[in-house]
Amino acid sequence: MRKETINLGSEYGEEYAGKYVFQELTWAKRSRIIQKHTRYHPVSGQVASSDFIAIQAETIWAALKEQPPHEPLTLEKLLGEEVGVPIALGELLSRIVNGLCAMTRDETAFLSEQSDANSHTPQSQTSASAKNSAGPQPSSHGNQPEPSTSSPSSSMK
Protein backbone atom coordinates (compact mmCIF):
# COMPACT_ATOMS: atom_id res chain seq x y z
CA MET A 1 0.00 0.00 0.00
CA ARG A 2 1.27 3.43 -0.92
CA LYS A 3 2.11 5.98 1.79
CA GLU A 4 2.68 9.70 1.75
CA THR A 5 4.45 11.71 4.43
CA ILE A 6 4.13 15.46 4.89
CA ASN A 7 5.93 17.74 7.31
CA LEU A 8 3.98 20.87 8.16
CA GLY A 9 5.49 24.02 9.57
CA SER A 10 3.40 26.67 11.27
CA GLU A 11 1.70 27.82 8.02
CA TYR A 12 -1.63 26.33 9.21
CA GLY A 13 -1.10 27.20 12.87
CA GLU A 14 1.43 26.04 15.45
CA GLU A 15 -0.86 23.27 16.71
CA TYR A 16 -0.74 21.51 13.29
CA ALA A 17 3.05 21.62 12.88
CA GLY A 18 4.71 18.22 12.59
CA LYS A 19 4.90 14.99 10.63
CA TYR A 20 1.82 13.28 9.16
CA VAL A 21 1.75 9.90 7.43
CA PHE A 22 -1.16 8.83 5.24
CA GLN A 23 -1.68 5.37 3.78
CA GLU A 24 -3.78 4.30 0.82
CA LEU A 25 -7.10 2.71 1.78
CA THR A 26 -8.39 -0.54 0.42
CA TRP A 27 -11.23 -0.41 -2.08
CA ALA A 28 -13.54 -2.07 0.47
CA LYS A 29 -12.80 0.49 3.20
CA ARG A 30 -13.32 3.44 0.85
CA SER A 31 -16.55 1.93 -0.50
CA ARG A 32 -17.91 1.36 3.01
CA ILE A 33 -17.23 4.99 3.94
CA ILE A 34 -19.06 6.19 0.81
CA GLN A 35 -22.01 3.83 1.41
CA LYS A 36 -22.29 4.93 5.05
CA HIS A 37 -22.88 8.56 4.07
CA THR A 38 -24.96 8.06 0.92
CA ARG A 39 -28.76 7.74 0.86
CA TYR A 40 -30.50 6.00 -2.01
CA HIS A 41 -34.08 6.31 -3.26
CA PRO A 42 -35.92 3.20 -2.04
CA VAL A 43 -37.60 2.50 -5.38
CA SER A 44 -35.25 3.74 -8.10
CA GLY A 45 -31.98 3.13 -6.28
CA GLN A 46 -30.66 6.50 -7.44
CA VAL A 47 -28.54 8.57 -5.08
CA ALA A 48 -30.91 10.80 -3.13
CA SER A 49 -28.16 12.55 -1.17
CA SER A 50 -24.61 12.13 -0.02
CA ASP A 51 -22.70 13.89 2.73
CA PHE A 52 -19.52 14.73 0.87
CA ILE A 53 -17.95 16.44 3.90
CA ALA A 54 -18.45 13.36 6.09
CA ILE A 55 -17.13 11.07 3.34
CA GLN A 56 -14.03 13.22 2.90
CA ALA A 57 -13.43 13.61 6.66
CA GLU A 58 -13.75 9.87 7.33
CA THR A 59 -11.53 9.08 4.36
CA ILE A 60 -8.83 11.43 5.70
CA TRP A 61 -9.22 9.98 9.20
CA ALA A 62 -9.02 6.37 7.95
CA ALA A 63 -5.92 7.11 5.85
CA LEU A 64 -4.12 8.97 8.68
CA LYS A 65 -1.59 6.57 10.19
CA GLU A 66 0.68 8.95 12.05
CA GLN A 67 0.49 12.52 13.34
CA PRO A 68 2.37 14.65 15.88
CA PRO A 69 2.30 13.34 19.47
CA HIS A 70 -0.20 15.98 20.64
CA GLU A 71 -2.64 14.62 18.00
CA PRO A 72 -4.02 17.84 16.54
CA LEU A 73 -6.32 16.04 14.08
CA THR A 74 -9.47 14.29 15.24
CA LEU A 75 -12.49 13.12 13.31
CA GLU A 76 -14.53 15.69 15.23
CA LYS A 77 -12.19 18.49 14.09
CA LEU A 78 -12.32 17.27 10.49
CA LEU A 79 -16.13 17.30 10.67
CA GLY A 80 -16.37 20.47 12.77
CA GLU A 81 -18.20 23.51 11.51
CA GLU A 82 -17.44 25.85 14.40
CA VAL A 83 -14.16 24.39 15.64
CA GLY A 84 -12.55 22.63 12.71
CA VAL A 85 -9.34 22.54 10.74
CA PRO A 86 -8.37 25.58 8.66
CA ILE A 87 -9.80 25.50 5.12
CA ALA A 88 -6.38 25.44 3.44
CA LEU A 89 -5.26 22.52 5.62
CA GLY A 90 -8.46 20.60 4.92
CA GLU A 91 -7.97 21.12 1.18
CA LEU A 92 -4.36 19.92 1.42
CA LEU A 93 -5.36 16.79 3.34
CA SER A 94 -8.15 16.10 0.84
CA ARG A 95 -5.76 16.35 -2.13
CA ILE A 96 -3.25 14.01 -0.48
CA VAL A 97 -5.80 11.38 0.49
CA ASN A 98 -7.75 11.59 -2.79
CA GLY A 99 -4.49 11.07 -4.66
CA LEU A 100 -3.53 8.10 -2.50
CA CYS A 101 -6.98 6.52 -2.67
CA ALA A 102 -7.43 7.30 -6.38
CA MET A 103 -10.66 9.23 -5.93
CA THR A 104 -11.21 10.81 -9.32
CA ARG A 105 -12.82 14.14 -10.14
CA ASP A 106 -15.80 12.25 -11.55
CA GLU A 107 -16.27 10.42 -8.26
CA THR A 108 -16.04 13.59 -6.21
CA ALA A 109 -18.47 15.35 -8.57
CA PHE A 110 -20.84 12.40 -8.31
CA LEU A 111 -20.72 12.53 -4.53
CA SER A 112 -21.20 16.25 -4.27
CA GLU A 113 -24.38 16.59 -6.37
CA GLN A 114 -27.87 15.15 -6.28
CA SER A 115 -28.30 12.33 -8.78
CA ASP A 116 -31.40 13.86 -10.35
CA ALA A 117 -29.31 16.76 -11.64
CA ASN A 118 -27.66 14.43 -14.15
CA SER A 119 -30.42 11.87 -14.51
CA HIS A 120 -30.05 9.68 -17.55
CA THR A 121 -33.77 8.88 -17.54
CA PRO A 122 -35.65 11.05 -20.04
CA GLN A 123 -38.36 13.18 -18.50
CA SER A 124 -41.88 12.15 -19.42
CA GLN A 125 -44.18 14.55 -21.26
CA THR A 126 -46.59 14.43 -18.33
CA SER A 127 -44.04 15.69 -15.81
CA ALA A 128 -42.77 18.28 -18.27
CA SER A 129 -46.32 19.49 -18.79
CA ALA A 130 -46.95 19.61 -15.06
CA LYS A 131 -44.05 22.03 -14.66
CA ASN A 132 -45.66 24.34 -17.21
CA SER A 133 -49.18 24.24 -15.78
CA ALA A 134 -49.25 27.93 -14.92
CA GLY A 135 -51.94 28.45 -17.53
CA PRO A 136 -52.18 28.66 -21.30
CA GLN A 137 -48.80 29.08 -22.92
CA PRO A 138 -48.35 30.93 -26.18
CA SER A 139 -47.15 28.57 -28.86
CA SER A 140 -46.13 28.88 -32.45
CA HIS A 141 -48.14 27.39 -35.29
CA GLY A 142 -45.39 24.83 -35.97
CA ASN A 143 -45.86 23.27 -32.52
CA GLN A 144 -49.60 22.64 -32.85
CA PRO A 145 -50.65 19.00 -32.52
CA GLU A 146 -51.86 17.23 -35.63
CA PRO A 147 -55.65 16.66 -35.73
CA SER A 148 -56.67 13.13 -34.82
CA THR A 149 -57.92 10.96 -37.69
CA SER A 150 -59.07 8.05 -35.53
CA SER A 151 -62.18 9.77 -34.14
CA PRO A 152 -64.79 12.01 -35.70
CA SER A 153 -64.11 15.71 -35.50
CA SER A 154 -66.28 17.47 -32.97
CA SER A 155 -65.66 20.97 -34.23
CA MET A 156 -68.62 22.98 -35.48
CA LYS A 157 -68.45 24.94 -38.73
Query: What pLDDT shows up at residue 103?
Result: 60
The domain limits of the chain are 26-62+71-115
pTM over the 0.75 mark: no
Q: What is the pLDDT of residues 52-73, one digit of tens each?
A: 999 999 999 999 999 999 999 9
Query: What pLDDT shows up at residue 129?
Result: 44
In this predicted structure, the answer to whether residue 115 has a pLDDT above a threshold of 90 is no
Q: Count CB-CB contacts under 10 A for residue 113.
A: 14
* Whole-number Å distance between alpha carbons of 26 and 125: 44
